[in-house]
């Protein structure tokens, strides 16, 4: 502990400094953004979005039902006629404008994201919001260069895209979906998740202010039933979904046999592999980031840790020491490392997995941090004494819970890492370049990070294999799911 009246101040001392919510405009009630304006839902129903730190209602949000989805799809269909034909260069200008407006309002976006979703402000301010703006900047640049992206193939937009996004990176996922769809000349009906609708609605305000022609982007709110109405609407040409594998499977069945194109970005259980020749301190930081970033609400989280046996004791001890310094608490406090669990439902899921881990004989370590009384919180957790067959090694927890195993040989760790229905991401920590390249060939995952983890960039494609889904978002690859060739 840092003692008072001493001349020094330890750099890690806790200095609460919550981000102010002054001048952040949050309305009491939000309507649907359809055809360039905010309109009331046909049936007049609203639902509440809750602050996960204290269970208080932040705002009421319109519940879109069949009639509203239909209205949004009609607006998008109408807008498609002209949006698909305007000069591509002009399309790019609108997308640039959206990117700039996100940058201008970035503080507001960051605070709302952290309030509504529970993630630390440091993450929303320094990662989510800048990456969302970058995504629009990047795809704005492609709008008038599609013939270079697809030489001699005459790419054409698909039509109306229905886009359904999750609650873990609300604004960033909206950007991942909207920017490539718009750059390629499609129009959109987008639905944010029911626990985190507010930044998408703020985005709707800036899209309106950007002068984007009405109906090109429609943002409607609701839960799974609203999502299903989008998926099943006959006049939608493309479904892009990011969320759980269970819902992804349902969506895939629902569109089977229709004309709709589909991309799915689903769950994961990514391996993070530490070799004995890794830079150990750097690797420990990487392990922390891989599993505790965004409370572990990350589809590509490094939730399965594999440590080479000879360094296992050292790595585990350093990991425990580092975990003890993590600050769990107010997402609006700049010192916070781990914020609130997004919803009561998700907290229950995580707690249930922790119980299963214990019941099946796992050895738990949790840091001794004081959790606030109200709201949804989970202490950073790791499990030892696990084998491949343990439930918490096999299933996605989507929380700050790390499952640790050890290995002796490269072959063994490749087999263990690939022994999962998922294939979204992996991390490899070693000083040997040849080993890194070998594993990047052998691991069945869409993204493989070398000596880093959870690094995202608009220019770099992201997506999975096996039950983690198909189709890529980001980079040149991210354009393809939104075009057809004649």
For the bound state, the minimum distance from the C-beta of residue 345 to ligand ADP, rounded and expressed in Å, comes to: 7
For the bound state, the minimum distance from the C-beta of residue 100 to ligand ADP, rounded and expressed in Å, comes to: 27
- C-alpha span between 472 and 482 (Å, rounded): 11
For ligand ADP, the closer of residues 46 and 250 by Cβ is 250
Instruction: Kindly tell me the burial class for residue 296, based on how many C-beta atoms sit within 10 Å of its own C-beta (0-12, 13-18, 19 or more).
Output: buried
For the bound state, the minimum distance from the C-beta of residue 411 to ligand ADP, rounded and expressed in Å, comes to: 34
Question: Which residue of this chain has its Cβ atom nearest to ligand ADP in the complex?
Answer: 227
Cα dihedral 390, 396, 397, 400 in deg (nearest 10): 100
- Of 194, 299, 378, 395, the active-site residue reads 299
In terms of DSSP H, where are the helices of 170-294? Answer: 170-183, 198-209, 224-232, 245-255, 280-292
For ligand ADP, the closer of residues 161 and 311 by Cβ is 161
- Of 19, 123, 229, 265, the active-site residue reads 265
Instruction: Kindly tell me the burial class for residue 455, based on how many C-beta atoms sit within 10 Å of its own C-beta (0-12, 13-18, 19 or more).
Output: exposed
Binding-site ranges for ligand ADP (CB under 6 A)? 164-166, 191, 193-194, 223-224, 227-228, 231, 243-244, 247, 250-251
For the bound state, the minimum distance from the C-beta of residue 47 to ligand ADP, rounded and expressed in Å, comes to: 11
For ligand ADP, the closer of residues 60 and 277 by Cβ is 60
Structural tokens at position 39: 């309109």
For the bound state, the minimum distance from the C-beta of residue 398 to ligand ADP, rounded and expressed in Å, comes to: 6
For the bound state, the minimum distance from the C-beta of residue 159 to ligand ADP, rounded and expressed in Å, comes to: 19
Q: At what angle do helices 245-255 and 224-232 cross, to 10 degrees?
A: 30
**Cα distances (Å, whole numbers) of residue 149 to 139, 146, 152, 160:** 12, 5, 10, 21
| Residue among 23, 165, 53 nearest 120 (CA) | 53
Residue 300 appears among annotated catalytic residues: no
DSSP string spanning 55-72? --EEEEEE---HHHHHHH
Contacts of 435 (CB under 8 A, 6+ apart): 275, 277, 410, 428
Q: Is residue 46 helix, strand or coil?
A: strand
For ligand ADP, the closer of residues 223 and 280 by Cβ is 223
For ligand ADP, the closer of residues 124 and 163 by Cβ is 163
| Residue among 361, 406, 415, 358 nearest 381 (CA) | 358
For ligand ADP, the closer of residues 197 and 329 by Cβ is 197
Residue 415 appears among annotated catalytic residues: no
| Residue among 106, 123, 103 nearest 114 (CA) | 123
- C-alpha span between 228 and 251 (Å, rounded): 8
For the bound state, the minimum distance from the C-beta of residue 374 to ligand ADP, rounded and expressed in Å, comes to: 22
For ligand ADP, the closer of residues 251 and 479 by Cβ is 251
DSSP string spanning 316-336? HHHHHHHHTTPPB--TTBTT-
* Residues forming the active site: 265, 299
């Amino acid at each position: 502990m840092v003692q008072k009246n001493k001349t020094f101040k330890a750099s890690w001392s806790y200095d609460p400094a919550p981000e102010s919510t002054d001048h952040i405009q949050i309305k009491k009630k939000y309507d649907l953004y359809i055809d360039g304006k905010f309109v009331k839902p046909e049936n007049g129903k609203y639902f509440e979005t809750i602050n996960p730190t204290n269970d208080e209602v932040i705002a009421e949000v319109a519940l879109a039902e069949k009639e509203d989805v239909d209205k949004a799809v009609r607006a998008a269909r109408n807008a498609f006629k002209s949006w698909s034909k305007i000069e591509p260069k002009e399309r790019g200008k609108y997308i640039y404008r959206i990117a700039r407006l996100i940058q201008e309002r970035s503080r507001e976006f960051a605070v709302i994201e952290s309030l509504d979703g529970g993630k630390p402000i440091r993450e929303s301010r320094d990662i989510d919001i800048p990456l969302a703006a970058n995504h629009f900047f990047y795809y704005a640049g492609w709008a008038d260069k599609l013939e270079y992206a697809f030489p001699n193939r005459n790419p054409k937009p698909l039509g109306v895209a229905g886009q359904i996004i999750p609650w873990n990176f609300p604004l960033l996922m909206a950007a991942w979906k909207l920017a490539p769809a718009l750059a390629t000349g499609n129009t959109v009906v987008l639905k944010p998740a029911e626990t985190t609708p507010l930044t998408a609605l703020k985005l709707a305000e800036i899209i309106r202010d950007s002068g984007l022609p009405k109906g090109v982007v429609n943002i409607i709110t609701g839960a799974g039933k609203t999502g299903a109405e989008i998926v099943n609407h006959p006049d939608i040409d493309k479904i892009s979904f990011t969320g759980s594998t269970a819902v992804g499977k349902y969506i895939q069945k629902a569109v089977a046999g229709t004309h709709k194109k589909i991309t799915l970005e689903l769950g994961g259980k990514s391996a993070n592999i530490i070799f004995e020749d890794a830079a150990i301190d750097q690797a420990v930081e990487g392990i922390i980031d891989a599993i505790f970033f965004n409370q572990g609400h990350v589809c590509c989280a490094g939730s399965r840790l594999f440590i080479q046996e000879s360094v296992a004791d050292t790595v585990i001890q350093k990991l425990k020491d580092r975990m003890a310094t993590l600050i769990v608490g107010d997402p609006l406090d700049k010192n916070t490392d781990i914020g609130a669990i997004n919803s009561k439902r998700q907290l229950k899921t995580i707690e249930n997995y922790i119980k299963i881990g214990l019941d099946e004989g796992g050895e738990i370590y949790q840091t001794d941090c004081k959790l606030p009384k109200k709201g949804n919180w989970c202490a950073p957790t790791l499990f030892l004494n696990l084998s491949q067959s343990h439930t918490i090694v096999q299933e996605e927890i989507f929380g700050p819970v790390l499952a640790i195993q050890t290995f002796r040989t490269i072959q063994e760790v490749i087999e263990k890492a690939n022994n999962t229905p998922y294939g979204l991401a992996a991390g490899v920590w070693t000083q040997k370049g040849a080993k890194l390249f070998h594993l990047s060939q052998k691991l069945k995952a869409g993204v493989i990070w070398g000596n880093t983890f959870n690094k995202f960039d608009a220019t770099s494609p992201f997506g999975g294999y096996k039950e983690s889904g198909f189709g890529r978002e980001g980079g040149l690859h991210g354009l393809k799911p939104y075009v057809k060739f004649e």
